[in-house]
Amino acid sequence: MTNWRDTGFSTRAIHAGQDPDPRTGAVVPPVHQTSTFAQQAVGEHGGWDYARGGNPTRDALQEALAALESAPHGVAFSSGMAACDAVLRTLAPGDHVLLADDVYGGTYRQLERVHGAWGLGFDPVDLSDLDGVAAAWRPATRLVWVETPTNPLMSVFDIAALAELARERGALVVVDNTFATPYLQQPLALGADVVVHSTTKYLGGHSDVVGGAVLVRDDALAERVAFLANAVGGVPGPWDVWLTLRGLKTLAVRMRAHCDNARAVVDALVGHPAVRRVRYPGLPDHPGHAVAARQMRDFGGMVSFDLADEPSALRACGRFRVFTLAESLGGVESLVEHPARMTHQSVAGSLLEVPGTLVRLSVGIEDPDDLVADIHHALA
């Protein structure tokens, strides 16, 4: 068996954890649609006893994702939010978390209304201001929750600098790598301790499955996360992990196409008379451009922009013909949405409220000319 860990990114995406089935030679890992596994004698089995605890198809996905993030351990979950929950559950009541003040709305809602209610402290801060992060630090701070680029404001944070700051103070850095994917950004190599994903997005890549994952460097922490997956039970089903594995194989080619198409869309938005501001880390005037250029391979497929007012933003969202008006992101098809009234409605009225002028695009891999023509039509 080849050690796939030593191979290039796409080779790992296609082969890691996915050697041909030793019994049948099946080139694609079988969907092990079973809840239990026969034992040869009491307690004697091939490593799987009950499917909440483990399933060979899920193992294949965990190995593939860990290989792509260069992580020793990977644990798959039934959604990105279940993955976030498992990481936060490794903390104890009284512990404190620092997180970006424009973190994904679902993450903030979970901290505020689930973990916060059970006694976890947290403070949203501007993670691009390292002095501000140090000033917000408390003796109980155990974890810095980084998301970069952020959903939907496209802020970029310096993972290496935050990891150093946290390491000096004995805390862990978690990076939600959903927007960048391991193809564009490798948080563990930059010093982070944990990566979380909504595999629903680019990793699955085809808008046909919901899932999540946690990738961990430390052995004991990984064991705790795997324990929580089984004990709490937010585990993915075998078909879902199989679909995610199938999507993963083409991650590199899809990401290159997403990045190229996003550049074409940004070119159409910049200088358009209706557009007040384009939020895309590839633009030289983006506040995080230099950091993004350093820590990312390319700038990704997500683009947000502001129109003059909320009615204009709502009207534009309804006028697209190639971009579909829908929540979610990261699939092959282009999507448009109004974060304030759709994906980020849960943070309306809070510190994390997003502007009503904002439109978010998940640029798909259709022909770029069709996407650019659609932008011009929607904004006309």
Ligand X SMILES: *Cc1c(COP(=O)(O)O)cnc(C)c1O
4-21 burial, b if ≥16 CB within 10 A, otherwise e? beeeebeebbbbbbbeee
- Torsions phi, psi of 172, nearest 5? -100, 150
When the beta carbons of 124 and 368 are compared against ligand X, the nearer one is: 124
Q: Is 178 in the site for ligand X (CB under 6 A)?
A: yes
When the beta carbons of 67 and 302 are compared against ligand X, the nearer one is: 302
Give the one residue of 48, 104, 145, 305 binding ligand X; rule: CB under 6 A.
104
Closest separation in Å from C-beta 77 to ligand X? 8
C-alpha distances out from residue 346 to 82, 104, 150, 207, 278, Å: 17, 10, 16, 22, 24
Q: Is 339 in the site for ligand X (CB under 6 A)?
A: no
| Site for ligand X, residues 273 to 332, rule: CB under 6 A | none
When the beta carbons of 137 and 150 are compared against ligand X, the nearer one is: 150
Q: Is 176 in the site for ligand X (CB under 6 A)?
A: yes
When the beta carbons of 128 and 181 are compared against ligand X, the nearer one is: 181
Closest separation in Å from C-beta 81 to ligand X? 4
Taking the C-alpha atoms of residue 108 and residue 104, their distance in angstroms, rounded to an integer, is: 7
Q: Is 198 in the site for ligand X (CB under 6 A)?
A: yes
- Torsions phi, psi of 24, nearest 5? -110, -15
Taking the C-alpha atoms of residue 49 and residue 66, their distance in angstroms, rounded to an integer, is: 23
- # residues contacting ligand X (CB under 6 A): 16
**Residue position matching structure tokens 């209304």:** 113
When the beta carbons of 141 and 343 are compared against ligand X, the nearer one is: 343
Q: Is 79 in the site for ligand X (CB under 6 A)?
A: yes
Give the one residue of 54, 106, 238, 281 binding ligand X; rule: CB under 6 A.
106
Closest separation in Å from C-beta 53 to ligand X? 22
Q: Is 181 in the site for ligand X (CB under 6 A)?
A: no
Closest separation in Å from C-beta 13 to ligand X? 20
- Torsions phi, psi of 131, nearest 5? -65, -40
Maximal CA-CA distance, the chain? 73
340: number of CA atoms within 13 Å, CB side? 17
Q: Is 261 in the site for ligand X (CB under 6 A)?
A: no
Closest separation in Å from C-beta 258 to ligand X? 14
Q: Is 183 in the site for ligand X (CB under 6 A)?
A: no
Q: What positions carry a catalytic annotation?
A: 52, 104, 176, 201
Give the one residue of 55, 141, 148, 151 binding ligand X; rule: CB under 6 A.
151
Give the one residue of 147, 240, 298, 337 binding ligand X; rule: CB under 6 A.
147
When the beta carbons of 282 and 339 are compared against ligand X, the nearer one is: 339
When the beta carbons of 29 and 149 are compared against ligand X, the nearer one is: 149
Taking the C-alpha atoms of residue 50 and residue 32, their distance in angstroms, rounded to an integer, is: 12
* Binding-site ranges for ligand X (CB under 6 A): 79-81, 104, 106-107, 147, 151, 176, 178-179, 198, 200-201, 210, 212
